[in-house]
Structure formats: C-alpha cells, structure tokens
C-alpha cells in the first residue's frame, strides 16, 4: 500500500534540544479586563513558506509551509493559569486559522474557519487570547484545509507546565511527523487524492522528530526523562517499541493518568494524540538502544537510537513520584447522563465505498453502487450518522444541554482506524467493545480500531458549536466531521 518507507536518505541529524527552539517573539503585557489589569504572555506566529532542512545534505532543503520559518513551529511554553495571547500573521497565499488542539478555550478562540471565526486572509492578522486552564502537552495547527496546511508543516507544540511538576532530569518534547517526499526532497503535492481519501489517509515515506530525520538521541545512564510525544502526522499511527527501556505513561492528550506501562509494550499514538512518558535510562554507558515503530507490522522501521554517553548520572533508579496533579475537569455523572449514539461509516471495503444504506437503497444494489461511486467522486467518502460533511458550517449533529453529563456510544462501522477528536472538551474513555477501560482516561482524541465501539463521557461545560471529527485529515476532508452544539447556560435544547 505504501511504496516506500523511510527511504535511503542518510540519517545524520541530531535532535534540536527543546530548549533551543526559539519562540519568535515573547513578551509580557497587560490586558484590561473589567477594572483589573491582567498580565498575559504574548507570542507571535507567522504562517509562511520557507525552505527547511528536513532531510540531511546532500538532499535539497524542502519547501515547507511553516510557522516562523521552522518545523515544528516554536514551542509555546507557559504555566498553568497563564493568560496567553498569540498574534498570528498570515503570509501564505491562502486563508488560514490556528486551532489550539486539546486546549479548552472559549469557542471564538478555537480557530475553526467559518465555524468559530472568519479565516485569516493572506496578509491579515488575527489575535487569539485564552487561558491555560489545563496543564499538559498540547499542540497548534490550522483548521482550514488542514489536510494540506498541516501536511506541509504548519504545526507546533504548546506545553503548559504544572505549577508543581513531577521531578525529572530532563523534560523533552518530540513532535513526530510523517512526510511524503519525492526523490528531490520536495513534498509530493498529491494532497487530497482519492486513494488517500478513501483508504488510510496520506501515509508518507519519511518520519521526522522535531522536523529532522533523527538518527541518535543522547542520554545518560541513570537519567530520568519526561518525554512528551505529539503525533502531528496527517494519517500515520505510531506504535513505538522502546525495546529494553520501559516507558511509563503519565498523561494522555495532556491529561494526567495513573502511571502505567503501555499495553503490549507498544506506545500507540493516533494522529493528533499526545502521550507523556517517564523513562528511566537503564542502559549501559557507551551503548546504544533502538526505538522501533512497529504499528504497521509490515512496515517496521527504526525510529531513533538512544545513545548512552560515557558518564553515568546516577547508579540507581530514582524513587520520585510520577503521578501528575489532576486538571480542573468536571466529572461526568454517569447515572444521570444523556445518552447518544454516533456511527462512523464509509471508506473503501472490498473495492467500494460502504456506508449504511438505509431502506430501499440497500436492496437496489446496482443503483446503490452507482450512487456510492458518485459520492466518492464528489468527495463524500466518510459519514457520521449517515451524513458526509461538505464544509464546516453544518446543522449540529447533536445539541447538548449545558452543564449536563453526556455519554456518547461511538461505533466504527468501517474497516479502518479513526482518531476521533472533539473540540472544547476532554472526555473520559469509559469502555471499548463493552469492556470498561482500566484507567477511564481523559482524552480529546480517541483512536478507534476497525469495527470498534468506544464509549466516552463528559460534562458539556463549554458553550458553542464544536467540531467533532476524524483527525486523519484526509478522512475529515472527505466528510468525516460534524458539529456538536453545547447550549448557552440556561438555554433549553
Ligand atoms: Cu478517519
């Protein structure tokens, strides 16, 4: 299905340390709010086209679309409770926006073109302001033609530090991405082709960590690292095998979870997901250990090597606590929750686009096939509750009463994985295929396997029209999105 994977480009680049990532402009200022002056942390992002060094010489630089001329965009790093102001300049030739993935922001700051704001025209500027309510690992990216804008490199990490973080020796961010590069090192411009749209999305041939094909990452024996992994790929699902090392998951999608080892020793990240792990460096000095991505079994490859220096940091594993402090999320009241069903359908199966064919259409197979091919060529390939979205302005698929608890039973009726993302809220993942989850983890993007049923729960406490969509960006573009409305406080549904 993928012709090449991690081609013979030489892998000689070292990781940029997160400390070296430069935030173009950081300032403090005062914003008048009522009678009080509120201090905010200010950042400036410029979306534009720039050559970047994704693959090592002698390959050419790659012309990417990126923030502040770098991949990933600058790491926005603040403390929980900070007020953030981000001024976004659009130097692209097309409209854009910035969405703060996983941040529980007011609806007007959510950055979804046409739904929550007018997109930023070329040459124009838009200022986002919101509070860092939750501590954790988040990211930002456009929500306008995302399949191409994110796919060409427009994204960056957003880290909200806890007031009392857990103790580690180093706090590292790795933004993972997957590119489809042509032999000349340029981004293949076959964005939005029918095959990617109707199968598993745009899976590429070159994986980068913080914008570089990374060969080695240096560590010290005895060192404890908090590694914040962010999957910024359009479609690639990562399944990282840490080999001799034992990562402990401490947060998923920014939200703390009881520290635990990954299931089957494989750390799985669907597109847009984040996982924070704590890793103790238990290897020997001067040795190196390979991290492998083996999510697609037939496409296993070496992600990076951990290389130990000759100077150990300590000779035993520290006994420091790994439990992160909880974020201020409302706990859903499952006994009094409103229940909803959502079914995802569509995509290629046995050579044709399948969706739930209701009523007579299901009996008239030839007619149904004809209409399915028609839907496919019109770009309607994926469906939520039988509807393929054509644009972001939609009648809400669900209207939820503000302040109420809601349980959504989601059914993936397709043959493919889908990372389902809900804006403006985090939700607990209650069960998978009827089996309760061990940690009832809070997430904003949940990876559903083929034919899987996943039950989520949350309190609808953030009013507005929110996107609910697959984060395989080709699936989103081909219909797999909807709008969930949360009413204003006191408003009846
Ligand atoms: Cu999908």
Phi-psi region of 265 (alpha: psi -120 to 50; beta: other; left: phi over 0): left
This prediction has a pTM of: 0.90
Confidence (pLDDT) at 297: 81
Q: What is the mean pLDDT of residues 1-11?
A: 33
φ, ψ of residue 96 to 5 degrees: the values are -150, 175
Confidence (pLDDT) at 369: 53
345 C-alpha to center of ligand 1: Å?
Answer: 10
Q: What is the mean pLDDT of residues 33-61?
A: 86
Q: Which of 18, 273, 309, 20 is nearest to 168 (CA)?
A: 18
Q: Which protein residues have their CB within 5 A of the ion that is ligand 1? A: 418, 470, 472, 475
Place of tokens 């309607």: 380
97 C-alpha to center of ligand 1: Å?
Answer: 22
Alpha-carbon distance of 13 to 207, in angstroms, equals 12
Q: What is the mean pLDDT of residues 254-278?
A: 97
| Residues 78/161, Cβ–Cβ less than 8 Å | yes
475 C-alpha to center of ligand 1: Å?
Answer: 5
Q: 337-363 pLDDT, tens per residue?
A: 999 999 999 998 755 666 554 433 334
pLDDT of 28 above 70:
no
Question: How much of the chain exceeds pLDDT 70, in percent?
Answer: 86
467 C-alpha to center of ligand 1: Å?
Answer: 14
235 C-alpha to center of ligand 1: Å?
Answer: 8
DSSP code at position 292: E
418 C-alpha to center of ligand 1: Å?
Answer: 4
Alpha-carbon distance of 336 to 203, in angstroms, equals 42
Q: What is the mean pLDDT of residues 235-245?
A: 97
Alpha-carbon distance of 271 to 329, in angstroms, equals 23
Looking at 57-61, 228-232, 239-243, 348-352, which range is the least confident one?
A: 348-352
Q: What is the mean pLDDT of residues 320-347?
A: 97
| The token pair that represents 58 in the structure block | 């002698």
Alpha-carbon distance of 96 to 104, in angstroms, equals 21
Confidence (pLDDT) at 31: 44
Q: Which of 486, 470, 462, 473 is nearest to 104 (CA)?
A: 462
Q: 455-470 pLDDT, tens per residue?
A: 999 999 999 999 999 9
Among the residues of 80-236, which ranges form H helices? 146-149, 194-198
Q: What is the mean pLDDT of residues 105-121?
A: 97
Q: How many Cα atoms within 13 Å fall on the side-chain side of residue 232?
A: 37
The average confidence (pLDDT) of the chain is 89
185 C-alpha to center of ligand 1: Å?
Answer: 28
Among the residues of 251-294, which ranges form H helices? none
Alpha-carbon distance of 33 to 241, in angstroms, equals 48
414 C-alpha to center of ligand 1: Å?
Answer: 9
pLDDT of 482 above 70:
yes
442 C-alpha to center of ligand 1: Å?
Answer: 20
Alpha-carbon distance of 112 to 402, in angstroms, equals 21
Q: What is the mean pLDDT of residues 232-253?
A: 98
470 C-alpha to center of ligand 1: Å?
Answer: 5
Q: Which of 111, 128, 197, 172 is nearest to 380 (CA)?
A: 197
Confidence (pLDDT) at 397: 95
């Amino acid at each position: 299905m993928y012709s090449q994977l991690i081609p013979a480009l030489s892998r000689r680049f070292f990781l940029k340390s997160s400390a070296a990532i430069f935030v173009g402009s950081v300032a403090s200022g005062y914003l008048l709010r009522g009678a009080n002056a509120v201090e905010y942390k200010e950042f400036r992002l410029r979306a534009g086209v720039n050559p970047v060094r994704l693959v090592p010489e002698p390959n050419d630089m790659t012309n990417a679309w990126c923030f502040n001329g770098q991949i990933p965009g600058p790491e926005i790093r603040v403390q929980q409770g900070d007020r953030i102001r981000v001024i976004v300049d659009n130097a692209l030739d097309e409209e854009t926006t910035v969405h703060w993935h996983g941040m529980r922001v007011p609806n007007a700051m959510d950055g979804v073109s046409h739904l929550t704001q007018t997109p930023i025209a070329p040459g124009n500027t838009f200022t986002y302001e919101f509070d860092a309510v939750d501590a954790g690992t988040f990211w930002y990216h456009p929500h306008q033609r995302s399949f191409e804008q994110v796919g060409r490199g427009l994204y960056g990490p957003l880290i909200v530090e806890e007031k009392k973080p857990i103790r580690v020796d180093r706090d590292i961010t790795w933004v993972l991405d997957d590119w489809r590069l042509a032999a000349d090192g340029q981004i293949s411009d076959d964005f939005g082709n029918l095959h990617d749209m109707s199968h598993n999305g745009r899976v590429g041939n070159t994986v980068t960590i913080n914008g570089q094909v990374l060969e080695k990452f240096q560590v010290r024996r005895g060192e404890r690292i908090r590694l914040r992994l962010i999957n910024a790929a359009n479609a690639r699902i990562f399944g990282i095998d840490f080999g001799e090392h034992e990562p402990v998951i401490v947060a998923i999608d920014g939200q703390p979870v009881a520290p635990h080892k990954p299931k089957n020793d494989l750390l799985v990240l669907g597109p847009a997901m984040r996982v924070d792990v704590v890793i103790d460096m238990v290897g020997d000095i001067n040795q190196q250990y390979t991290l492998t991505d083996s999510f697609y079994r037939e496409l296993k490859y070496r992600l990076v090597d951990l290389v130990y220096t000759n100077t150990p940091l300590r000779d035993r594993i520290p006994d420091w606590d790994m439990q992160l402090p909880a974020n201020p999320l409302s706990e859903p009241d499952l006994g009094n929750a409103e229940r909803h069903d959502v079914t995802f359908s569509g995509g290629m199966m046995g050579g044709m686009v399948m969706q739930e064919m209701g009523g007579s259409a299901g009996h008239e197979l030839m007619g149904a096939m004809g209409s399915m091919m028609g839907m496919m060529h019109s770009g309607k390939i994926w469906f939520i509750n039988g509807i393929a979205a054509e644009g972001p302005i939609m009648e809400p698929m669900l209207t939820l009463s503000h302040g109420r608890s809601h349980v959504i039973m989601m059914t993936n009726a397709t043959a493919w994985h889908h990372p389902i993302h809900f804006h403006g809220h985090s939700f607990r993942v209650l069960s998978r295929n009827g089996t309760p989850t061990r940690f009832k983890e809070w997430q904003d993007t949940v990876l559903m396997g083929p034919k899987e049923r996943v039950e989520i729960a949350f309190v609808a406490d953030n009013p507005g029209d929110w996107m609910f969509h697959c984060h395989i960006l080709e699936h989103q573009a081909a219909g797999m999105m909807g709008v969930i409305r949360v009413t204003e406080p006191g408003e009846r549904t």
